[in-house]
Amino acid sequence: MRTFIFLVYSIMSLLYETVPAFEDTWIQYLGDVGRYRMAIECEDSERKDWSHWTNVSRSSYSEAADKKSTVGCLYHHSAILPVEKPNALTSSNNFFFYCKSLMVKQPFEWGRHSIRILFQSVLSNQSRSQPVNVRFVTLHEIWFRHIDLERFGGVI
């Protein structure tokens, strides 16, 4: 499978360099292929190339978003990429990309589902999260779902 993905990545890279009329499409596909390779590396116990392929995907999606800033799926794909060493800002960065995926001209509707999963994961791991991060996410969950609006003042 690694050989096949490497072959596909090589072909996409060649197309990206030689067929500029579709470079927006090729760069997005390069990110997708990198993400698939990253998923295969997750199954490997050594995970030696995992970080490399994560960075390949991240830079490809970033470049694609620079060229097509109105396409929501590019921001969503950036948000779902894992981080090697998560920190207090990881969920805030993901939240930013999920929101951006919903607020562009061509929104990515699956972003709604993903942002709800983010809310659940941060709020279920409150003991491991920074208090300011938990409050930030809680405020946005209340706003996003239009629930418990009375709680809004208490969270601040």
- What are the pLDDT digits (tens) for 114-144? 998 888 887 777 666 667 777 787 788 877 8
Which pLDDT band, with edges at 50, 70 and 90, does 85 fall under? low
Domain shared by 112 and 136, yes or no: yes
Count of structural domains within the chain: 2
- Residue 73 domain-assigned (yes or no): no
Q: Could you tell me which residues come within 8 angstroms of residue 41 by beta carbon, excluding any fewer than 6 positions away?
A: 47, 48, 49, 50, 53
- Give the residue numbers spanning the domain of 33: 1-68
Residues 102 and 125 in one domain: yes
Any domain includes 6: yes
Check whether 155 has a pLDDT greater than 60: no
19: left (phi over 0), alpha (psi -120 to 50) or beta: beta
pLDDT per position as a tens digit, 14-44:
999 999 999 999 999 999 999 999 888 877 7
- CA distance linking residue 26 with residue 103, whole number of Å: 24
Do 88 and 155 sit in the same domain of this protein? yes
pLDDT of 87 higher than 70:
no
Ramachandran assignment for 106, one of left (phi > 0), alpha (psi -120 to 50 degrees), beta (any other):
beta
Q: CA-to-CA distance for 69 and 63, rounded, in angstroms?
A: 10
Amino acid present at 85: K
Tokens 């990206």 belong to which residue? Answer: 16
